[in-house]
Amino acid sequence: MFKNLKKEDLEITNIIQKEIERQQNGLVMIPSENYASKAVLEAMGTPLSNKYAEGYPHKRYYTGNQFIDEIEDIAIDRAKKLFSAEHANVQPNAGSGANLAVYMATLKPGDTIMGLKLDQGGHLTHGHKVNVSGILYNFIQYGVSKDTELIDMDEVRELALKEKPKMIVTGATAYPRVFNFEAFKKITDEIGAILFADISHFVGLCISGDHPQPFPYADIVMSTTHKTLRGPRSAFILCKESYAKAIDKAIFPGTQGGPMEHIIAAKAVCFKEAGTKKFIEYGHQIVKNAKALAQALMSEGLRLISGGTDNHLMLIDCVPLKITGRQGSEALANCEIYTNRNTIPYDPGSAFEPSGIRLGTPALTTRGMKEKEMEIIGKAIACVLKNINNSDTLRNTQKLVKELTKEYPIYQELDF
Ligand SMILES: *Cc1c(COP(=O)(O)O)cnc(C)c1O
């Protein structure tokens, strides 16, 4: 597969090879990561990348787009079917830019938006002050309740009635429970606001029915394609017909130029894969695995934020372990178990030294692991976190990871 690359640039080829091996030989438990299929990877590496296709299918600014149009039409069609959406824009290059386009399509700078607090699970693009969203718009942030660590819909409603936002953003990067879109819709209806669902993290679970579907409640939906959807690194926007024109304009020419048609082809492939029974099974197994993993961690005495999980991810509270999230995630990384440090609600630490570890099951589930492996891995993780400086623990865990990753190969069939 890398025949030509090898000949042209051995230096880069060798590093790519090492990264592939790292992904094979480790337990990828960062909940925003996954393994795209070989079919998706192949679609990305095609000469479609050579083509300029500014505009939309059948309304391009360049000639020679007849085949590109066919591909983008199929991608749009599949995205709409998958989510019962009225309109789809498959051109966004990434989730962050797509969110900015959604704001640009519907609001004016200075308008009030409500989003989940970043340190309680929200995304940077949901109004953090260092992000362009927080700079351009007046973001008011809702949070989780201190006792339950869950979003309290009464509090969201109270804040919404007081602040009268033009839009409410739902969705998160580090919230282990589900979003009740119907309840959010009741609130946005009451104040005449737009309901925007950013389903980037749990999109795969929306498809499998393990998380509520955003439609018909949400007006606009954004999702990345590389997380639980298991596609290329990219994003797309869905919306009701009344927002279609404004959304399309905000993507092109509003915030992007020529679309990445090779990535759009790969998105079409991942939408097709996500429409299969196999993918529905995959979604169910992600959640079953997450529940088994959470149970294993809690049986070892670890505290999870909100006491468990209903989706693909969980957050370990490192405070009782007397370590920071960084120390914990680095100790795990030394055993080739990849997680990330993360803030937890009402974190006593800081954004750089937070007190939580975020981990999840999408990538391990792609490898075919089930509840039995989650129990073993949960025990091993707890052991490492309780003994971060013990070299015996480190060695034993490294050995276990080797065995597990050998038993559940990924990308081995790729001829690199
Ligand atoms: C990942 C994510 C994004 C941003 O996606 P990028 O492609 O990394 O820009 C936006 N919103 C949420 C909720 C996410 O989880």
Catalytic residue among 125, 170, 173, 224: 224
Q: Do residues 32 and 55 both lie within one domain?
A: no
Q: Is 201 in the pocket of ligand 1 (CB under 6 A)?
A: yes
Q: Is 92 in the pocket of ligand 1 (CB under 6 A)?
A: no
pLDDT of residue 411: 86
**Residue keyed to tokens 């003994």:** 387
Q: Do residues 30 and 104 both lie within one domain?
A: no
Verify whether residue 54 is a known catalytic residue: yes
Domain annotation covers residue 413: no
> 412 pLDDT band (50/70/90 cuts)?
confident
Is the sign of the CA dihedral 61, 64, 66, 69 positive or negative? negative
Domain annotation covers residue 160: yes
Please identify, by atom number, the ligand 1 atom nearest to the C-alpha of residue 198.
13
> 2 pLDDT band (50/70/90 cuts)?
confident
Catalytic residue among 72, 119, 198, 210: 198
Last residue of a domain, one of 274, 296, 314: 274
Taking only the tens place, the pLDDT of each residue in 153-195 is 999 999 999 999 999 999 999 999 999 999 999 999 999 999 9
CA of 5 to the centre of ligand 1 (A): 31
Taking only the tens place, the pLDDT of each residue in 35-56 is 999 999 999 999 999 999 999 9
CA of 96 to the centre of ligand 1 (A): 6
CATH number of 96's domain: 3.40.640.10
Taking only the tens place, the pLDDT of each residue in 349-393 is 988 899 999 999 999 999 999 999 999 999 999 999 999 999 999
The mean pLDDT value for 201-206 works out to 98
Which of 33, 93, 123, 220 has the most ligand 1 atoms within 8 A of CB, as the residue to mutate?
123
Q: Yes or no: say if 318 and 357 are a contact pair by the CB < 8 Å rule.
A: yes
- Supply the range of the domain harboring residue 397: 26-36+277-407
Q: Whole-angstrom Cα distance, residue 58 to residue 76?
A: 13
Q: Yes or no: say if 184 and 217 are a contact pair by the CB < 8 Å rule.
A: yes
* DSSP H or E segment with residue 169: strand 167-170
CATH number of 309's domain: 3.90.1150.10
pLDDT of residue 416: 47
In sequence order, what are the residues at sequence separation of 6 or more whose Cβ sits closer than 8 angstroms to the Cβ of residue 15?
none
Read out DSSP for 82-104?
HHT-SEEE---SSHHHHHHHHHH
The model carries a pTM of: 0.97
Nearest residue (CA) to ligand 1, atom 5: 95
CA of 196 to the centre of ligand 1 (A): 14
**Residue keyed to tokens 């975020």:** 358
Backbone φ, ψ for residue 179 (5° rounding) = -95, 130
Q: Is 171 in the pocket of ligand 1 (CB under 6 A)?
A: yes
Last residue of a domain, one of 233, 254, 274: 274
